[in-house]
Structure 1
Amino acid sequence: MSSQVLRFEDWTAPVPAVEREVVEALPQSPQELPPVLFVPGIGHGAWAFAEHWLAHTASRGFAAYAVSHRAEGSLRAYVHDVVQVAASLPRQAVLVGHGAGALLVSHALTRYPARAAVLAAPVPPGWSALGAALRANPFGTLPALFGAAPRLSRRQLFGADLAEAEAYRGRLVRTPARIYRQVLFAKPAAAPVGAPPTLVVGSPDDRVVPRSALDRAAARYGGAPLLFPGMSHDLMLDTKWQEPIDAILDWLDKELATT
């Protein structure tokens, strides 16, 4: 039902075409492995994966890509871009979404038959995410209740030991408040096309996504979350960034071997 509505909207009110920023890292020796497409959360761009995860993924033999969000648009436009970039890749892709990017991936999966999917620190739609944000950063989150964009704090995104935290925070893109409202009131995605294997990863110490949200997200796909204690919300920029991406790629290797 949901995918049919989306297609009808795309036909009657097509998403405007834009030039998308896609960053890539390719393995030295091409292999018959699916490409991996990374989708950032709100305020982040492809650069967040280009710091560590893209090159590391390529070193494991996977062609790695990351897409940035268009400057103006909506969640529907963001999902459209994920589907279009994935469809342009040479093989059936693995989709990896972080934060609100995981919400985009869950909706993209209703339209794109991914080889597999990973939801990293997935921001849940609805009031549970807002409640967690209010507890961690009340003054930065309160504006969201009045139609403004929230202001995420350093401690919400990054670990205390991350020397580059301020530099990374300076690279965050200001996102229109309407995008945050759309995340807040987004409906859960319909069932994925083709039922791809889906992994949920996160940290029980995340100050953006509560542990209960990780459990619910994983249960929806028939599993339990893979947890990394002591890590921040931005797993891909954390000082221990290698642990989750290696775990993701190990899981993917096993899934590919079994199928």
Structure 2
Amino acid sequence: MSEILRFQDWSDPVPAGDREVVSRLPEDDDGSRPPLLFVPGMGHDGWAFAEHWLAHAASRGFPAHAVTPRADGDLRAQAHDVVQTAAALPRQTVLIGHGTGGRVVARALGRYPARAAVLVAPVLDGWAALGSALRGNPAGTVPALWGGRLRFSARQLFGPALPAEEATAHLKRIGARPRAELFGRDTLPAPVGDPPTLVVGSPDDRVVRRPALDKAAARYGGAPLLFPGMGHYLMLETSWQEPIDAILDWLQKQLPAY
């Protein structure tokens, strides 16, 4: 698969595109922690990580960056943007993708030798995610099947502990017209260098259900790390600190000699 991807990049290269990077750096970066590159999914940009997770990771000594791949790009172009951004960082990088950003990271892992990877509520199976969306929010989902805007609901994306006013504010910034390829299933490449990979999610997620989390984790040889009571957007929940601390703790155990 990697050879096929390399040939395609040579024969049909991804054109240059704009991408936005938001960064939060430790006050004293001694080089003992790898950079983290967060990749948002469909409907939101780097701001979703900048709300809480970037600064918190930096406070624990990790240089933290969030890249927003080109909005009009397909999955191949977005994975290219992630690889290019990671390669420009000073040290071998940890890739962290949320939602469909997890699918972008899974593709990027076939081209970039990441130090480690974390897939947060990853949408690796578009059909399963579409089925969940149609069951949970048919009125907001059906228009997207015909090129319209995908309209999410607070109940669909967030846990019950998040105050209604915060959920409403986030919803105003979330939304997208999904590409048709997101509704299908992808043949994902094997990761280059076999990096340790963690799948994180919630058993109460209404977008990525528990069976999808189990399947994603099994693909990378493990079990999902679960946070009950939270929704799809773990990084925006009231208890946002729990999953990011667990991710950083896992990284410190996996990379003790970094």
Q: TM-score range by the shorter chain?
A: over 0.9
Q: Residue in 1 aligned with 2:110?
A: 110
Q: Which residue of 1 aligns with 2:17?
A: 18
Query: Given the alignment of the two structures, is residue 166 of structure 1 paired with residue 168 of structure 2, yes or no?
Result: yes
Larger deviation: 132-141 or 229-238? Answer: 132-141
Q: Which amino acid aligns with 1:208?
A: V
Unaligned runs of 5+ in 1: none
**Per-residue deviation at 1:222?**
0.9
Q: Check whether the contact 2:23–2:64 (CA below 8 A) recurs between aligned residues.
A: yes
Is the CA contact 2:159–2:230 (under 8 Å) kept in the aligned structure 1?
Answer: yes
> Which AA in structure 2 matches 1:156?
Q
Segments of 4+ moved more than 3 angstroms: 144-149
Separation in 1, partners of 2:200, 2:241: 13
Structure 1 CA distance, aligned partners of 2:9 and 2:209?
A: 34
SS of the aligned residue for 2:117 comes to strand
CA distance in 2, matches of 1:100, 1:71: 13
Bigger mean CA deviation after superposition, 42-51 or 12-21: 12-21
Tell me what 1:215 maps to.
214
CA gap 1:37/1:150 in 2 versus in 1, 3 angstroms:
same
**Contact 2:149–2:175 (8 Å) recurs in 1:** no
Is 1:63 matched up with 2:63? Answer: yes
Aligned Cα RMSD in Å? 1.6
Give the Cα–Cα distance (whole angstroms) in 1 for the partners of residues 156 and 252 of structure 2: 31
Corresponding residue number in structure 2 for 1:142: 142
- Kept after mapping to 2: 8 A contact 1:122/1:214: yes
- On the 8 A contact 2:79/2:107 being kept in 1, the answer is yes
Q: TM-score, normalised by structure 1?
A: 0.93
Alpha-carbon shift at residue 147 of structure 1 (Å): 4.6
Equivalences, count: 255
Match of 2:89 in 1: 89
8 Å Cα contact 1:203/1:233 also seen in 2: yes
The aligned counterpart of 1:188 is 187
Deviation at 1:136, TM superposition (A): 1.1
> What letter matches 1:231 in structure 2?
M
Code of the aligned partner of 1:87: A
Partner of 2:77: 77
Alignment correspondent of 1:156: 156
> Secondary structure at 1:200's aligned position in 2?
strand
CA contact (8 A) 1:36 1:96 kept: yes
Q: Spell out, residue by residue over 1:134-177, the C-alpha distance to the aligned partner (whole angstroms, 9 max, x if none).
A: 121122222344454432222212234333212211122533x4
The residue type paired with residue 137 of structure 2 is N
Percent identity over the alignment?
Answer: 65
1:125 and 1:188 in contact (8 A); partners too? no
Runs of at least 5 residues in structure 2 that lack an aligned partner in the other structure? none
For residues 16 and 41 of structure 2, what CA distance do their matches in structure 1 show? 21
Partner Cα separation in structure 1 for residue 73 and residue 167 of structure 2: 28
- Secondary structure (helix, strand or coil) at the match of 1:205 reads coil
- Distance in 2 (alpha carbons) for counterparts of 1:238 and 1:126: 24
One-letter amino acid matched to 1:100: T
Look up the match of 1:224. 223
| SS of residue in 1 equivalent to 2:198 | strand
| Counterpart Cα distance in 2 of 1:126 and 1:44 | 17
CA offsets 1:69-115 (integer angstroms, 9 cap, x no match):
21322111111100000000000000000000000000000000000
